[in-house]
Structures are given as structure tokens and as C-alpha cells.
Amino acid sequence: LAPMIELSRTEDGSNKNGAFAKDVADGLSQKQKHLPSRYFYDGKGSQLFQQIMDLPEYYLTRAEFEVLTDNQEAMVQHFAHEGFFHMIDLGAGDALKTKILIRQLTKQQSSFDYVPVDISGDAMKQLTKSLQEEMPEVGVQAVVGEYFKALQWLQQNKSERKVVLFLGSNIGNFEMKESVEFLCSMRSYLGAGDKLLMGVDLRKDPDTILNAYDDAAGITAEFNLNLLHRINRELGGEFDVDQFQHYAMYNPLEGVMRSFLISLKEQDVYIRDTGRTFHFDAWEAIHTENSHKYFIEQVKELGQQCGFKIETVFYDSRRGFADVLFTT
């Protein structure tokens, strides 16, 4: 198997020296409580996210699958110039969507290697294995870590040609300011002619958006609540998870979908590894996630602020999702 770059963080995004405990303690001691959404993706959370992607309400994955399927030849034409390049896939997961492009690149006999980056070590092991089986000719260099590890990798390979994939509207989890910071530091590690293909969920009927994050089967609720289960499992937390409820709301002015966990009663929760007890008032909220929805003009401006130019915008047939191809 291709060498796996093992980084300081453990495979599921937690950290041996207590970054998870620290982030939880910090988030829960704020006046407005919050927990970072990157901690959703432990084994159980990744499994629940797989289920979310199959939900009838969660249109994002299908929409982007359609965009990539329908435009694979054009996309690959843009990527593959003369000579070798690295294709870096941020938050690759099972890479079901990326495989469309990898197959097409292989078909065109492009010279490239594939660098999937994900906080789930399990996902990266499985992906490396499945690519070995399906397309043994493709070199795979999986990186286990958070996005900053991907930035480090880009920095270390600065002089080589690169195509970065940032699919799935994962950019939408950042605060606006953070997304600019992230794209600008990414841009600083790219060279002339390098590309960024970024998936963005677009503005649409607010009810369609809301339903995608508040599905009838309750899988998204389970996904959100799993964060408390994870704190119990990994940090010795004593959350009575039944005493919290998932709440999702969409703000159509800002274009932000926000998810919360609401305390159903006044309660105190001890979390062993933080050495602290946290107080919750009845109906107090913990903010757990933002998912931004964009006008294409905003995406253009976002790129522009960091020196990216739009080369092409690929839309799905409903114009509800776009994969934007930027160049430097």
C-alpha cells in the first residue's frame, strides 16, 4: 500500500494531547455555547454522514454527483496539461464523487497522483485499498489529518503542479472570515496555472435547505447528537443525551443553515477529561454547525479576494449546486 502520512492527531480528528477536551471545554464555557463541527466525524459520525448522503432530503451529494458525471470530460481537460500533477482531495471521505474524475483521468492516460486528505484514518485506509483494487495504476498518497495538514502538504510540494478538489460544499462549514483565510493560505501554496475545483451549495427555496438538515427519518438529529455521545465515550462525559434535542434553522438573509443541540431542562454535566462541570439552563442551545449557501457572485468574490479567477462554473440541472473551477 502507498505510505500513509501519520500526523500528530489521531485518526478520528481527536488528539492524544487533549485538543478535543480543550475544544469542548472552551466551547462549553462561552456565554453562547458551541462545539466545533469537525468533531462530528468519529467512526459512528462518519457512518451517520454516509446515511445522510443517501437521504431523500439531502440533495447536495446527488447534485454534485450529477455535476461531476455530466462534466467529467471537460473538467479533466482543464486539469491535465503537459506533464505530471498532484490531485489533492480535501475531505475525501469515500471519494465516490472523486472516483468519477480519477477514472476519466486514467482513461485519458493523464500523469498524476492522488492525495486524499481526511480526518478519518479508517476512511483513508479503505479508500487507498479500494483504489488499489480498482485502479492499481494510480499512485495514492493518503494524508490523515485536518485541513491544516492539507495546507502543510501543499506548502511542502509548492513547486509541483497541483489541482485541489474541495468538494461537497465543505467550505460552507467555515465562518465567512475563516473561509477567506483558508482559501488565501491555500492560494499562497499554489503556483501559476494550478487549479481549485470547489463545490458550493447555492441559494434555493429555504424549505428545501431546511429539510436537508432536518430530515424526517431523524438521521441528521442522530448525527448531531452523536457529538454528545462522542464526548461521553472519549472524554468521560456524563451527558444524558435524551435530554437534548436537535434543532436546525435557516437564515435566508445570510444564507446560513445553523444546527444546534438544545438542552430540554436545567442540568449540570460533568466531563471527566475537562475536569469540569458545565451548567445548562432549560432550553439553552449549543451551536454545533454552520452550512453556508451561496450566490455564485459571492463565490466569485471569495476567490477574487485570494487571487483566484473563475475558469468555469459547472452547475447541476436544477442550478442548486455548482462546482466552480478556479485558476490562479
Give the residue, chosen from 89, 94, 214, 289, that forms a contact with ligand AVJ under the rule CB under 6 A.
Answer: 289
Lookup result for grid cell 485541513:
147
Give the residue, chosen from 189, 213, 244, 250, that forms a contact with ligand AVJ under the rule CB under 6 A.
Answer: 213
Give the residue, chosen from 46, 169, 211, 226, that forms a contact with ligand AVJ under the rule CB under 6 A.
Answer: 169
Cβ proximity to ligand AVJ, 39 vs 213, nearer residue: 213
Cβ proximity to ligand AVJ, 61 vs 141, nearer residue: 61
Cβ proximity to ligand AVJ, 21 vs 117, nearer residue: 117
Q: 29: which DSSP letter?
A: H
Cβ proximity to ligand AVJ, 145 vs 161, nearer residue: 145
Cβ proximity to ligand AVJ, 52 vs 102, nearer residue: 52
Provide the grid cell at 282. Answer: 432549560
Helix 176-188 / helix 147-156 crossing angle, nearest 10 deg: 20
Full strand arrangement of the beta sheet holding 33-34: 33-34, 285-292, 256-263, 244-251
Dist CA 49 CA 231 (whole Å): 18
- Amino acid in the structure at residue 115: V
Give the residue, chosen from 168, 237, 303, 320, that forms a contact with ligand AVJ under the rule CB under 6 A.
Answer: 168
Dist CA 32 CA 257 (whole Å): 17
- Whether residue 249 contacts residue 279, with contact meaning beta carbons closer than 8 Å, is answered with no
From the CB of 173, what's the least distance to ligand AVJ, in Å?
A: 5
**Contact flag: residue 320 with ligand AVJ (CB under 6 A):** no
Lookup result for grid cell 486514467:
106
**Contact flag: residue 42 with ligand AVJ (CB under 6 A):** no
Provide the grid cell at 212. Answer: 436537508
From the CB of 136, what's the least distance to ligand AVJ, in Å?
A: 29
Cβ proximity to ligand AVJ, 54 vs 281, nearer residue: 54
**Contact flag: residue 60 with ligand AVJ (CB under 6 A):** yes
Cβ proximity to ligand AVJ, 194 vs 323, nearer residue: 323
Q: For the beta carbon of residue 285, count every other beta carbon within 10 angstroms.
A: 18
Please return the burial class of 29, using the count of CB atoms within 10 Å of its CB with bins 0-12, 13-18 and 19+. exposed
- Count of residues that bind ligand AVJ according to CB under 6 A: 12
Give the residue, chosen from 27, 116, 145, 172, that forms a contact with ligand AVJ under the rule CB under 6 A.
Answer: 172
Dist CA 58 CA 229 (whole Å): 23
Single out the segment in contact with ligand AVJ by CB under 6 A; choices: 82-90, 165-173, 180-188, 237-245.
165-173
Single out the segment in contact with ligand AVJ by CB under 6 A; choices: 26-34, 79-87, 170-178, 262-270.
170-178
Q: For the beta carbon of residue 3, count every other beta carbon within 10 angstroms.
A: 9
**Contact flag: residue 250 with ligand AVJ (CB under 6 A):** no
**Contact flag: residue 120 with ligand AVJ (CB under 6 A):** no
Dist CA 297 CA 51 (whole Å): 32
Provide the grid cell at 198. Answer: 470547489
Q: Find the residue with minimal CB distance to ligand AVJ.
A: 291
Dist CA 232 CA 274 (whole Å): 12
Dist CA 88 CA 62 (whole Å): 22
**Contact flag: residue 51 with ligand AVJ (CB under 6 A):** no
From the CB of 248, what's the least distance to ligand AVJ, in Å?
A: 8
Dist CA 297 CA 299 (whole Å): 5
Cβ proximity to ligand AVJ, 93 vs 303, nearer residue: 93
Single out the segment in contact with ligand AVJ by CB under 6 A; choices: 82-90, 98-106, 121-129, 162-170.
162-170
Point out which residues bind ligand AVJ (CB under 6 A): 52, 60, 168-170, 172-173, 213, 220, 223, 289, 291
